[in-house]
Chains A and B, each alone.
Chain A
């Protein structure tokens, strides 16, 4: 009996998200014509593919009990580096590789500092945020447009789906990232160690798990995902801009939390994050469809949801302990 209630509580946040998603979607389709159109749903994915990738990386970090405030800046840096290098005539594959390596190494560096000097992740990634944003400005203070044929091809080629709908290549990449992420978290020792570290770092260490290595890898994963998210954003906007993705770390954190991952770490699912991103997308779409509501309502609603879920988490964790 107790077992049943407790395990039900474990899924309570994610269930709440699901109910909310269905509710918001039902509300939208009842109220606005064409809201339930399948292309509208797919557009939601197209518009948020880069956020999905970044939030996937953030899920790893938060599951381990950390936080990464640098993601938005790394996204912006990635768009700028791509635009700049492509502008210099570098071939697209090399540029992509360089961007991904930069992102992963930034994450690796931050993870190493966090682990070796036992600094709070929030401070170190804050410095990383400044650093990446500052690097952006040293590259360019203005938007640089991308004309590289490969990038424009990726940006403009829709993948047709049955029913006359389509998605972008970015969506496919994002979904692949999610699939790989789910596999890694669930089926590899690295993934399980992420959960173990989030549950109790001390215990994980005493159980002989490679805690330090795992922590560093987690931030590298987040850096890599941010860089990839940056590439998707570059595909999506065909530009590099130092002002891209300001405040995106908050969207990513919100998506992860709304998706049911506990901020203290150790509990949550990557698929929940997908739900979280979808919720944010539906809210945006609702506000766009309404027409009378202004865009800032998005922020307010996200804030309110974040509040709701954090309080919910407190209640759930308090009861089970």
Chain B
């Protein structure tokens, strides 16, 4: 085995007192694909940012080709031989493929850009990736997969010795993924050291020679031979606390409320079929990025499905927009409270009545007395603090912002409530309250779709669990005495048990 090209030892990084990386080691050899695995927040992107010089380190050393290095930023890292390709293609769609590969370092002659040399060079670089296409066509005409390859070609131009691929496959379809993996194989054969970040287990197992798993900013271990099941266990951590069940029997609900058949959207979620019953909770389980949020958005009309249909009470419904969904009694609490939930500048009161008022239209305002009543009741019910309806919503803590959002939808008395990560980033007490609330709501006949990254939480509240993996619904399990291990196994095996 050749000498390692990169060695990171004892890396530690804190952000305002929060430890993001704690004593992490990582090494990379030429001619290998080394996967960096872990859930979101495990520290993968922080480690990459430390490597490419976006962040400095608080402790630890980075050796590149045996020399200690500390890059000043991504551009410096690139010059030094470490190139990064990100999940979103950061190229200019309006320029030609060739320009995108060589922008900023165009070959010049007599001080002017030498266009034919530029095109020639671009063709050569793409040929290295076994890609051939019209390099003078605008990049925007190419598929995302090709754009991704162009980004790689750009990264390779600077005599890269280490190529970092940060979630490159997230928006690709299976054929495109295969093509990208092929390119990675041929680069590996040419001696490139590739750091591959992905949460698609199949892909990692298919290509990686070695895997490093992080969890909560700590190194779990480095593995060369590991099964999918073991890998998932390492990523999530085995030491799950045993929780007493919140529910008794599995409720099968009181009749079907919503039925989705072959609903799907390209590049987002593969077509799936689901049934949601009144008075029951459907949990969505899966790793981050497995398509849980995307599925929820389709059910709410926040994104347009490009296949399949939705029936509510056995009547087909075209969910053209959230507005239509709201009128059909569907409510959706987004996981991004700040960007997709709250209007930060408005008060708590205004945020709570927003959806109700929007449904009534601007000409039929809720009287101020009614507003105050509703809001006071919500604040009391959900224990929103400070209990001041006129406080600016943006000034509230995360947990209280979440409750404001929840209140916004509860007062519309929806038939179906979709909760995307309702308990993320809030304290244990508030968490239990929200879980209890979900149980109460379903007892009153509401249907709930509950999304959470914490498996035990999903299992505590759900009657049925749909398991997602790599943007597919791989299994739907009735929750009678399911354990997190069962779910993990399902995720790892892709539902083929």
Contact = CB atoms under 8 A, between A and B. Distances in A.
B137 interface: yes
B141 A3 contact: yes
A31 interface: no
A7 interface: yes
Interface stretch (A92-100, A188-196, A248-256): A188-196
A187 B112 contact: yes
Contacts of A192: 95, 99, 103, 106, 113
Contact of A10 (B92, B112, B138): B138
Query: A interface, by DSSP: helix, strand, loop or mixed?
Result: helix
A207 B90 contact: yes
A200 B141 contact: no
Interface centre among A186, A187, A198, A209 (most CB of B within 10 A): A187
Interface in A122-164: none
Contact of B92 (A3, A189, A199): A199
Contact of B78 (A10, A183, A200, A208): A208
B137 A3 contact: yes
A294 interface: no
Interface in B89-108: 90-95, 99, 103-104, 106
A206 interface: yes
Given A206-B74, A208-B74, A209-B103, A7 B141 contact: yes
A188 B103 contact: no
A268 B449 CA distance: 48
A10 B154 CA distance: 25
A33 to B, nearest CB: 45
Contact of A202 (B90, B113, B138, B154): B90
A203 B137 contact: no
Interface in A247-306: 266-267
Contacts of A10: 138
B440 interface: no
Contacts of A186: 113
Query: B interface, by DSSP: helix, strand, loop or mixed?
Result: loop
Interface centre among A193, A204, A206, A208 (most CB of B within 10 A): A208
A200 B92 contact: yes
B484 interface: no
Interface centre among A186, A202, A204 (most CB of B within 10 A): A204
A316 B462 CA distance: 47
A302 to B, nearest CB: 26
Given A7-B138, A7-B141, A187-B112, A208 B93 contact: no
29 contacts: A2-B141, A3-B137, A3-B141, A6-B141, A7-B137, A7-B138, A7-B141, A183-B112, A186-B113, A187-B113, A188-B111, A189-B104, A189-B106, A192-B95, A192-B99, A192-B103, A192-B113, A193-B103, A196-B92, A196-B103, A199-B95, A200-B91, A202-B90, A203-B90, A203-B91, A204-B92, A206-B90, A207-B91, A207-B103
The 6 nearest A-B residue pairs measured at CB? A199-B92, A199-B94, A266-B94, A187-B112, A206-B90, A208-B75
Given A6-B138, A199-B95, A202-B90, 14 more contacts: A2-B141, A7-B138, A187-B112, A187-B113, A188-B113, A196-B103, A200-B92, A200-B93, A203-B92, A204-B92, A206-B74, A207-B154, A208-B75, A321-B140
